[in-house]
Amino acid sequence: MSFLITKNYIFKDAVNFKVQNSLDLTEKILPFFQKYPIQGVKLLDYLYFVSAIEIIKNKRHLTQAGLDEIRKIK
């Protein structure tokens, strides 16, 4: 796996988790959050993120229409 976990200096009970490999993102991180869903206000952000990942995974981001779709999600 290619990710980095560091201490968050702003919020004492939090850590920063940085994924450095798109394969880890689609095969490890997204399945984790499918198994353990986000609850609360961050769920909508996560669902937008998943939509953008699907566009990239299907290589639609290589077209102008795909990029426009990601911009709308943003």
Q: Give 13-36 pLDDT, tens digit per residue.
A: 888 888 888 888 888 889 999 999
Domain boundary assignment for the chain? 21-73
Instruction: Decide if pLDDT at 1 tops 60.
Output: no
Distance, CA of 38 to CA of 7 (rounded, Å): 21
Helix (H) or strand (E) holding 34: helix 30-35
- Whole-angstrom CA distances from 58 to 32, 52, 54, 55 are 21, 10, 6, 5
Distance, CA of 17 to CA of 74 (rounded, Å): 21
The reported pLDDT for the residue numbered 9 is: 82
Q: Full-prediction pTM beyond 0.95?
A: no
The reported pLDDT for the residue numbered 62 is: 95
Class of domain 21-73: alpha beta
> What is the average per-residue pLDDT within 28-54?
93
The reported pLDDT for the residue numbered 68 is: 95
